[in-house]
A and B are shown apart, each in its own frame.
Chain A
Amino acid sequence: MKIPWFYFASPSTFYRLAGWMAPWFFVLAALFGAAGLYVGLVLAPTDAQQGEVYRIIFIHVPASWMSMFIYFVMACYGGVSLTFNTRLAAMMARALAPTGAMFTFVALWTGSFWGRPTWGTYWVWDARITSELVLLFLYFGFIALANAFEDPRRGDRAAALLALIGLVNLPIIYFSVVWWNTLHQGASVKLTGSTMQIQMLWGMLLMALSFWMYSIGASLTRVRAVILDRERRTHWVRALAT
């Protein structure tokens, strides 16, 4: 089956499609979130070394994953918009940035509140944590740059360029615990397997799915507002408002 990409890349078509899809993603996010919280807070056993405080990882790790994944997707949309000059890709990049920044903030905040009882400090200038903070600043920079120009297309191009340059930070975040001697622990979950207890692992994966579905729902909702702003002088948008 051939997917009509150009048809779906039209803002008017995508506006309706996003409006139809977004609520379903929010429903999925709520279901996975409820299941993840039940597994993580009720079923998963107390950690032998950290006690109850380890339960922070059920939001800290998924939020960290989403902060990097959203940035990667945002930079890909930026690259597509620069290469093919597609309007919708630039709009999607704009729509993803605030959600990515929110998850980066959550990752830093929860990491800080996990670090205090575990390491004895809220903050340390460790390679992993510092590069995650740089990611937050990259999101802020992207949002600021995208909105700094009167002509939104110029803002799109400048922000896309920043997003692409900032991509270099993602491997630094991911491999920082391997490349440098850091206080932050290494990855417990890899593509090749996990060293975690099965209920702990499921709790984390369910929360990651919840955050993922939420991110899609939020970015689809936001892109509809961006489309309305950009296309407000077109006939199809005026027809919507009547």
Chain B
Amino acid sequence: MRPHEFYIWMSYGMTALALAVEIVALRLRRARSLRRVEEERDLEAQD
């Protein structure tokens, strides 16, 4: 292992992880918003 390789991998690895987590969170957020719209529509239909 080259010197300082650990620090470089930890930096790039955490950046990749942070980006991946945010992208997943964005997809989940959109899915939740769409679900709430559906629920609202269903409630309206029942009235």
State whether B12 touches A59 (Cβ < 8 A).
yes
State whether B2 touches A52 (Cβ < 8 A).
yes
Residue of A98, A218, A241 ringed by the most chain B CB atoms within 10 A? A241
With an 8 A cutoff between CB atoms, is A128 at the interface? no
With an 8 A cutoff between CB atoms, is B47 at the interface? no
Residue of A56, A225, A238 ringed by the most chain B CB atoms within 10 A? A225
The answer for the CA separation of A226 and B37 in the assembled complex, in Å, is 12
State whether B7 touches A228 (Cβ < 8 A).
no
Interface of chain B residues 1 through 47 with chain A (CB within 8 A): 2-5, 7-8, 10-12, 14-15, 18-19, 21-23, 25-26, 29-30, 32-34, 36-38, 40-41, 44
Kindly list chain A residues whose C-beta atoms are within 8 Å of the C-beta of B37.
228, 232, 237-238, 240-241
State whether A116 touches B22 (Cβ < 8 A).
no
With an 8 A cutoff between CB atoms, is A214 at the interface? yes
State whether A52 touches B4 (Cβ < 8 A).
yes
With an 8 A cutoff between CB atoms, is A72 at the interface? no
State whether A218 touches B26 (Cβ < 8 A).
yes
State whether A98 touches B7 (Cβ < 8 A).
no
With an 8 A cutoff between CB atoms, is A14 at the interface? no
Closest to B43 in A: A233
Q: How large is the interface on A (under 10, 10 to 19, 20 to 34, 35 or more residues)?
A: 35 or more
State whether B8 touches A53 (Cβ < 8 A).
yes
State whether A233 touches B8 (Cβ < 8 A).
no
State whether B22 touches A98 (Cβ < 8 A).
yes
State whether A56 touches B7 (Cβ < 8 A).
yes
- In the complex, what's the smallest C-beta–C-beta distance from A150 to chain B, in angstroms? 15
Kindly list chain A residues whose C-beta atoms are within 8 Å of the C-beta of B30.
221, 224-225, 228
Q: Which of A83-91, A99-107, A133-141, A182-190 contacts B (4 or more CB under 8 A)?
A: A99-107
State whether B38 touches A59 (Cβ < 8 A).
no
Residue of B14, B18, B33 ringed by the most chain A CB atoms within 10 A? B33
State whether B41 touches A241 (Cβ < 8 A).
yes
- In the complex, what's the smallest C-beta–C-beta distance from A26 to chain B, in angstroms? 9
- In the complex, what's the smallest C-beta–C-beta distance from A30 to chain B, in angstroms? 11
Q: Which 7 A-B pairs have the closest CB atoms?
A: A53-B4, A228-B33, A225-B33, A110-B11, A113-B7, A225-B29, A56-B11
B residues whose Cβ falls under 8 Å from a Cβ of A: 2-5, 7-8, 10-12, 14-15, 18-19, 21-23, 25-26, 29-30, 32-34, 36-38, 40-41, 44
List 28 A–B pairs whose Cβ atoms lie within 8 Å, in order of A's numbering.
A52-B3, A52-B5, A53-B4, A53-B7, A56-B7, A63-B15, A102-B19, A102-B21, A106-B18, A109-B15, A113-B10, A114-B7, A117-B3, A214-B19, A218-B23, A221-B26, A221-B30, A222-B29, A224-B30, A225-B26, A225-B33, A226-B33, A228-B37, A232-B40, A233-B40, A238-B37, A238-B40, A241-B34
